Structure 1
């Protein structure tokens, strides 16, 4: 069960909050729809529930708030908009990466791919998927950890009728298995058809919390859909006749040649069109949204139109035309003009739905435009890559104006969409789980490979140019570090790779379902730091090795001799590379940007080093001159395995201005990251 209590968003300046004291429940085994127009507060509600946005109120998932759940993805599956993932990553690679993140076997990725019908697209890149396939992948990501609840924000927005019906069937299947389903929509008909309970929002406030049957009876209104090339004239005539007869008839112009007529019937609208010789292309009954009320939505305007209510009267759904039993409806103009008989006129006065008379077409081309209602989504053949292996829930036809708008709840439903089998056992927490995720993340796209190749190429060119001038020391030459640059290309590349570790998470938040764009867990931070250090070590070795080989081939052995203090130089080089990589990781995690992470790496030699030098060189009563030498004397103690040499090299690197500034920056960044992590958990 999901219990949202007093959800209120933080106000911005003098504006009222986008959401004000909203409380509702979504029960297990049922589908709950959160309904509202654009700007009503649906997305804000979902983000407050998932603790992705600051505000007041609390949401309980089976009695526990989300921040107290150790692994939120095991409790709630989330889909907010498009699938959050790098567009260059493959479908299967993305799912396997998430399997490592949530702690489920890698074979679970194949199970969910088969369930959502994406087996044939497992090697496709995320950036090449269509809208429907992207939503199927989002459902697969949400179902990976076999959560109890599903929370989807607009799961059918932009989908075709068939794809939308398939998604609704999948949500229904999850509820049938005992899960809790909550989704948002702005289409009242979709809410009435796909949900068991409808929670209606308007301007950030809760206005209704009803069963779907009550919602359909009280909030949906029957209407007549009309398409005519003379829609404005027909609207004016219908409004004029309504005023003369003192009847509450609303005529809503929906753009182009389409009208929606509330409070009338097909027979009355068709008779008016026939009497005045107006060509009609379509005349059909529909079930629309709440639309304008019959007596309190304002007077008719001069053009015969009336203002709409809070939910709006514009139809966003296809036409659902039905024929009443015992009545023959004329829905096209191919048979020429049709007049009302006396029996039909009596039926009209009694409120029945007689056949609709329409004007004759003027030419054969116009007569060929018969009004055909949009077909209902049919069952998709098994194994179809376009719609998966599920049979969608076909919506029931719209009722007549005299009958309730909600289809009978006892109507038989098609078989629900198949879902992946539930997890028999939960994987025990493992320290290698974040490390496996990070390895999948860094090897799944080509950004890291291109960065390493670019760094090696630039370093090789600089190495040859510096060797030709003959003014660069050997250790700077092997590192391709011109004295004019604050850092060598390899250090900048290591910082960029480290910044991508968190920067890609915020740009393409693969872990969005696990509470927040990036979970601020120390386990994930440790994994990112470890992988960044390994990557920096590989990049450092490749750069020096390639430069040495190139210098040997071009200039001979003179420039590639091993220096006497090679150990301390190696420690300094490795420390610089790892420090730059870690600075990129921490800065990107704090500022949520790859650019900010790389900027923090550049700030060390440009900003921090001059400040440190100025602080050390300033006038003072005592000086720390000789501190590196005294530290070096401490390492004369006999350490096992010659560790004192490595310690001496590390102390020498720290004693240098760049090394000291880098250590100072890393300490500040780590403290800031831990502070933000603690603050995020306290929230």
Structure 2
């Protein structure tokens, strides 16, 4: 059972809270509609239940709050708005990425595409999907972990009657298997047709919590929709006969050819029309909303839909059979630390952005390296790194920083993990995965740039510039530290300030702002030397490492002694502390 107790949103300034002390429940095996007009706080209610919005109150999912559920994705699935994915990512790629985050096999993505009818569009990009297909993909994302509870924010908004029938049939099938379904809507007739229970809110407060039958009896009333070319004449005749028979009948004219008759039925109106020779083009019993006008949730456009849209939605058997035919998942998802790593690899390789950045970096590096070698005054390390004095960073380091910034920037621009807290890997695991993947991408990019520059120099100028330098080890360590440090600076900068541009700014701030300060400390005269530090460390350490590691330690210390290296170290320490303070102290990923 889903229980929401005392939900209250945090008010902004002097405004009243969007949700104020709201308490209700949604029972398993039933579809519950959260009904309210636009601005009544429906979306805020769902965000409070998922810990995605600040506020008070608690929500129990089968007796446990969300933060105490070991595997939230197996308990709750959510669809808030459109599918929050990168427009260039394919439907299959989006689901596989979320499968890695949830901890289910990648084959589950194909199963869900078959379930929602998107198997033929699996390789279609998200930007090319229609509204109906987008909602289907969002529902597939919510069902990935086979959750017990579904939370959906206006899932049928803007859909055709056929899409509505399929959607509510699938929700009904999920409830028939014992699951709990809660969705929001602003259409009272839709709630009465498709839900078992209706919770009505207004201004963030509870108005009514009723069974669908009681809701239809108290909030809605039956009517007869009539379409005839003689609407005014037929309306007058129905009214006159009702007065003669002392029956309470109300006739409302809706346009030149339409009537809505309350308090009568199709048989009586059809007999009246037949006796007076009035042709009738449409005669159907419908359900009308007795509540306020459009401001309170009545959509006039819906009244213009054909009769098929007004017919009660019957749960088809196909969605239920499809749900039952899905392969069963293990009771406990994998707790492997590779879950966030798999997610990050899918995110990195799921779009063309990474390939385009790498291609641009290689082209720029080769061009700059060949041009620098013409003068003959540039040292070999600068040639291989394609780093002229005019640039604050070489192209490879800047490209690595850009990839790092995009790593967290995409999470906030296209928040695939924010729709449901259940799909979020633990924040520490997600951070470590991003650090590891960005470091590997930076090292690979730096290696490819060095090899490409060396081959281009050999091709253009011959073998003279391709010899192996004596201090190749320290050069390799320095180059690796620079690229990885820039990647991490971009990643942490974007994670702290929640924007890709902020991550890029953090990368550029290292050579432009921090490096000059570090240079003043490094070039200052020193009265003492740290020579022999590896040997002294070996004496005090409890773990004895081989003597072959000493050259690597010395090379690392030389890198740290460089102005850019010191600046990177200072920047990374500051950004990491800021990230830990601003990010990990939150319980949720927003």
Q: TM-score, normalised on structure 1? A: 0.76
Distance 1:474 1:373, change over 3 A: same
Q: Does 1:374 align with 2:308?
A: yes
The superposition leaves residues 564-611 of structure 1 with CA deviations (integer Å, 9 ceiling, x where unpaired) of 222111111100000111111112222222221111111111122233
For the residues of structure 2 that align with 1:185 and 1:80, how far apart are their CA atoms?
A: 12
Residue 406 (structure 1) aligns with = none
Contact map agreement 2:439 2:488 (CA 8 A) in 1: yes
Q: Does 1:631 align with 2:530?
A: yes
For the residues of structure 2 that align with 1:182 and 1:607, how far apart are their CA atoms?
A: 52
The superposition leaves residues 166-192 of structure 1 with CA deviations (integer Å, 9 ceiling, x where unpaired) of 111111111111111111111212211
For the residues of structure 1 that align with 2:304 and 2:3, how far apart are their CA atoms?
A: 34
Distance 1:308 1:228, change over 3 A: farther
Contact map agreement 2:104 2:334 (CA 8 A) in 1: no
Which stretch shows the higher mean deviation, 577-586 or 307-316? 307-316
Distance 1:535 1:237, change over 3 A: farther
For the residues of structure 1 that align with 2:15 and 2:309, how far apart are their CA atoms?
A: 44
Distance 1:559 1:258, change over 3 A: farther
- Offset of 1:18 from its aligned partner? 1.4
Structure with higher Rg: it is 1
- Offset of 1:317 from its aligned partner? 5.7
Q: Does 1:189 align with 2:189?
A: yes
Structure 2 counterpart SS, 1:631 = coil
Residue 122 (structure 2) aligns with = 122
- Offset of 1:91 from its aligned partner? 2.2
Question: Residue 493 of structure 1: which of 395, 399, 405 is its match?
Answer: 399
Question: Residue 508 of structure 2: which of 594, 602, 608 is its match?
Answer: 602
Q: Does 1:479 align with 2:385?
A: yes
Distance 1:308 1:595, change over 3 A: closer
For the residues of structure 2 that align with 1:258 and 1:469, how far apart are their CA atoms?
A: 87
Larger relative contact order, structure 1 or 2 (CA cutoff 8 Å, min sep 6) = 2
Q: Does 1:395 align with 2:316?
A: no
Structure 1 counterpart SS, 2:575 = helix
Question: Residue 476 of structure 2: which of 546, 570, 577 is its match?
Answer: 570
- Offset of 1:90 from its aligned partner? 2.3
Distance 1:678 1:191, change over 3 A: same
Distance 1:311 1:95, change over 3 A: closer
Residue 167 (structure 1) aligns with = 167
Residue 4 (structure 1) aligns with = 4
Question: Residue 310 of structure 1: which of 296, 300, 303 is its match?
Answer: 296
Question: Residue 435 of structure 2: which of 511, 529, 533 is its match?
Answer: 529
Contact map agreement 1:227 1:259 (CA 8 A) in 2: yes
For the residues of structure 2 that align with 1:507 and 1:237, how far apart are their CA atoms?
A: 61
The structure where helix makes up a greater share of residues is: 2
Residue 564 (structure 2) aligns with = 658
Residue 135 (structure 1) aligns with = 135
Structure 1 counterpart SS, 2:88 = coil
- Offset of 1:118 from its aligned partner? 2.3
- Offset of 1:271 from its aligned partner? 12
The superposition leaves residues 361-394 of structure 1 with CA deviations (integer Å, 9 ceiling, x where unpaired) of xxxxxxxxxxx733778xxxxxxxxxxxxxxxx6
Which stretch shows the higher mean deviation, 50-59 or 570-579? 50-59
For the residues of structure 1 that align with 2:418 and 2:377, how far apart are their CA atoms?
A: 52
Structure 2 counterpart SS, 1:679 = coil
- Offset of 1:94 from its aligned partner? 2.1
For the residues of structure 2 that align with 1:83 and 1:126, how far apart are their CA atoms?
A: 8
The superposition leaves residues 234-272 of structure 1 with CA deviations (integer Å, 9 ceiling, x where unpaired) of 999999xx9xx999958587xx87877574668999999
For the residues of structure 2 that align with 1:652 and 1:560, how far apart are their CA atoms?
A: 24
Contact map agreement 2:9 2:54 (CA 8 A) in 1: yes
The superposition leaves residues 445-496 of structure 1 with CA deviations (integer Å, 9 ceiling, x where unpaired) of 2111111011000111111221223342221121011111111111110011
Contact map agreement 1:4 1:25 (CA 8 A) in 2: yes
Structure 2 counterpart SS, 1:169 = helix
Question: Residue 445 of structure 2: which of 539, 542, 552 is its match?
Answer: 539
- Offset of 1:659 from its aligned partner? 0.8
For the residues of structure 2 that align with 1:593 and 1:271, how far apart are their CA atoms?
A: 68
**Structure 2 residues not aligned, in runs of 5+:** 539-544
Structure 2 counterpart SS, 1:316 = helix
Which stretch shows the higher mean deviation, 92-101 or 567-576? 92-101
For the residues of structure 1 that align with 2:450 and 2:294, how far apart are their CA atoms?
A: 72
For the residues of structure 2 that align with 1:252 and 1:614, how far apart are their CA atoms?
A: 85
- Offset of 1:663 from its aligned partner? 0.7
**How do 1:71-86 residues align onto structure 2 when only pairs under 5 Å count?**
71-86=71-86
Residue 365 (structure 2) aligns with = 459
For the residues of structure 2 that align with 1:236 and 1:591, how far apart are their CA atoms?
A: 68
Distance 1:280 1:570, change over 3 A: same
For the residues of structure 2 that align with 1:224 and 1:142, how far apart are their CA atoms?
A: 39
Structure 1 counterpart SS, 2:300 = coil
Residue 52 (structure 1) aligns with = 52
Contact map agreement 2:101 2:425 (CA 8 A) in 1: no
Which stretch shows the higher mean deviation, 24-33 or 222-231? 222-231
For the residues of structure 2 that align with 1:589 and 1:211, how far apart are their CA atoms?
A: 46
Distance 1:626 1:527, change over 3 A: farther
For the residues of structure 1 that align with 2:342 and 2:219, how far apart are their CA atoms?
A: 51
For the residues of structure 1 that align with 2:229 and 2:500, how far apart are their CA atoms?
A: 55
Distance 1:660 1:217, change over 3 A: same
Distance 1:95 1:641, change over 3 A: farther
Q: Does 1:110 align with 2:110?
A: yes
For the residues of structure 2 that align with 1:156 and 1:199, how far apart are their CA atoms?
A: 17
- Offset of 1:203 from its aligned partner? 2.1
- Offset of 1:616 from its aligned partner? 6.7
Contact map agreement 1:589 1:673 (CA 8 A) in 2: yes
Q: Does 1:198 align with 2:198?
A: yes
**Structure 1 residues not aligned, in runs of 5+:** 293-306, 320-371, 378-393, 397-411, 618-622
Tell me the C-alpha RMSD between the 2 structures.
Answer: 3.7
Residue 177 (structure 2) aligns with = 177
Contact map agreement 1:604 1:661 (CA 8 A) in 2: yes
- Offset of 1:443 from its aligned partner? 1.6
For the residues of structure 1 that align with 2:398 and 2:333, how far apart are their CA atoms?
A: 39
Structure 2 counterpart SS, 1:288 = strand
